[in-house]
């Protein structure tokens, strides 16, 4: 998702080089096909191409390419390509008339230089001028069309880069909103153990250190494996078990073969934290938290079920950890409309479900 300046510059450089090759190739093919009509005429009448026709064709080809390239240079320097068409159209038509007249008289000059008969009849000159005017106008329309298409693609690339950068910044901000409340709760629980159960307190400090390290390291990534996410979840549950003791029971179930599947970091921990804070902690006798991870067709299903009641009358979900609303936004950024989070009451329990495609991310750039 990250956009590197070197990659952008390399892409633009390649695009510019490719554009130049396309431009010159189209010049050669376009004007070449026009002046090759003389070759076809010789074959039709003589059965072969005359040497003079070849010379005249290549000289005329070179002159037409140079003339239209000068016109292109004027278009670029005068910024006619980006100016309003109602202002530039008269100038462009005038330029095409000049090009047509120039090509007409150059054509007559070439014919005369090679000993041919030159027809100075007004109708003949007018017809030739009109012919070259139409060709020049077609060249102009094609060049403007190519320019507008290229400009549109470049603008689209810039928009995608900007969108990607904004999405990346939003993801970073969302992941940086990790609520430290459970850290303080864990430290208070450990403090209570120091005098009575020093060994357990030492073990809990180690678990807290692991949790902090994994949270900092893995939280920087866009996606991590379920194995990595479950290390954070397990350490967190062990610390909460110290605080709630027999009031908290938990069960983790992951379908075989999904350990290396990818998941947004800290998103399961968010669900677990929400279940404990808004479910277990509010019940005198505590309760159970059950995590199930499975694959249904080509989608990942993450379900967290806990004892408690979800208040459906609330207009928004209060944030815990990075928060459920935060988790919804992250799923939307990474998976688009394919990533969903729902929460509901079912069989006297609260069930929170996350679904997203197993191997399909939202294309961002």
**Half-sphere exposure at residue 274, Cβ-oriented, CA atoms within 13 angstroms:** 29
- Quick check: 291 and 251 in contact, CB under 8 A? yes
The reported pLDDT for the residue numbered 3 is 38
CA separation, residue 228 to residues 234, 275, 334 (Å): 10, 20, 19
Whole-angstrom distance, CA of residue 341 vs CA of residue 324: 8
The reported pLDDT for the residue numbered 337 is 87
Quick one: which of 207, 213, 166 has its CA closest to 190? 207
Residues of the chain with pLDDT under 50: 1-16, 174, 178, 315-321, 362-365
Whole-angstrom distance, CA of residue 305 vs CA of residue 292: 8
- Quick check: 10 and 176 in contact, CB under 8 A? no
φ, ψ of residue 63 in degrees (nearest 5) = -65, -40
Q: What domains can be seen in the chain, in order of their start residue?
A: 5-173 (no CATH), 176-357 (3.30.565.10)
- Name 286's Cβ contacts closer than 8 Å, sequence gap at least 6: 244, 246, 247, 248, 249, 280, 307
- Strands 349-357 and 262-263 come out as unpaired
Enter the pTM of the model: 0.53
Quick one: which of 169, 272, 175 has its CA closest to 217? 175
Burial class (CB in 10 A: 0-12, 13-18, 19+), 156: exposed
Angle at the Cα of 345 (from 340 to 350), degrees rounded to 5?
80
The reported pLDDT for the residue numbered 162 is 53
The reported pLDDT for the residue numbered 316 is 45
The reported pLDDT for the residue numbered 163 is 58
- Quick check: 365 and 160 in contact, CB under 8 A? yes
Helix (H) / strand (E) containing 130 = helix 122-175
The reported pLDDT for the residue numbered 161 is 58
């Amino acid at each position: 998702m990250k956009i590197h300046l070197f990659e952008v510059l390399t892409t633009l450089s390649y695009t510019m080089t490719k554009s130049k090759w396309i431009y010159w190739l189209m010049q050669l093919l376009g004007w070449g096909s026009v002046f090759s009509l003389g070759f076809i005429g010789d074959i039709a009448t003589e059965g072969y191409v005359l040497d003079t026709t070849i010379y005249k064709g290549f000289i005329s080809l070179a002159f037409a390419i140079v003339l239209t390239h000068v016109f292109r240079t004027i278009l670029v320097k005068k910024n006619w390509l980006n100016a309003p068409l109602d202002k530039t159209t008269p100038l462009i038509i005038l330029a095409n008339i000049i090009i047509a007249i120039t090509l007409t008289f150059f054509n007559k000059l070439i014919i005369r230089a090679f000993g041919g008969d030159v027809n100075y009849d007004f109708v003949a000159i007018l017809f030739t001028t009109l012919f070259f005017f139409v060709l020049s106008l077609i060249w102009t329309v094609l060049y403007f069309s190519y320019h507008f298409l290229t400009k549109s693609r470049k603008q689209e690339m810039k928009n995608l880069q900007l969108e990607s950068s904004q999405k990346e910044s939003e993801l970073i901000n969302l992941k940086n909103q990790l609520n430290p409340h459970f850290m303080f709760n864990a430290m208070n629980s450990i403090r209570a153990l120091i005098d009575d159960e020093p060994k357990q307190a030492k073990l809990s400090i180690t678990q807290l250190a692991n949790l902090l390290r994994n949270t900092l390291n893995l939280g920087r990534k866009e996606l991590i494996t379920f194995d990595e996410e479950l290390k954070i979840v397990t350490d967190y549950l062990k610390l909460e078990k110290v605080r709630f003791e027999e009031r908290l029971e938990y069960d983790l179930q992951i379908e075989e073969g999904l350990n290396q599947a990818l998941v947004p970091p800290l998103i399961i921990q968010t669900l677990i934290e929400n279940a404990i804070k808004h479910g277990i902690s509010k019940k005198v006798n505590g309760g159970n938290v059950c995590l199930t991870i499975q694959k249904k067709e080509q989608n990942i299903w993450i379900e967290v079920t806990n004892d408690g009641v979800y208040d459906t009358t609330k207009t928004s979900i209060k944030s815990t950890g990075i928060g459920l609303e935060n988790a919804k936004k992250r799923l939307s950024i990474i998976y688009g409309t394919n990533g969903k989070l729902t929460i509901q009451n079912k069989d006297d329990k609260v069930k929170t479900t996350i679904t997203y495609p197993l191997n399909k991310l939202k294309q961002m750039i």
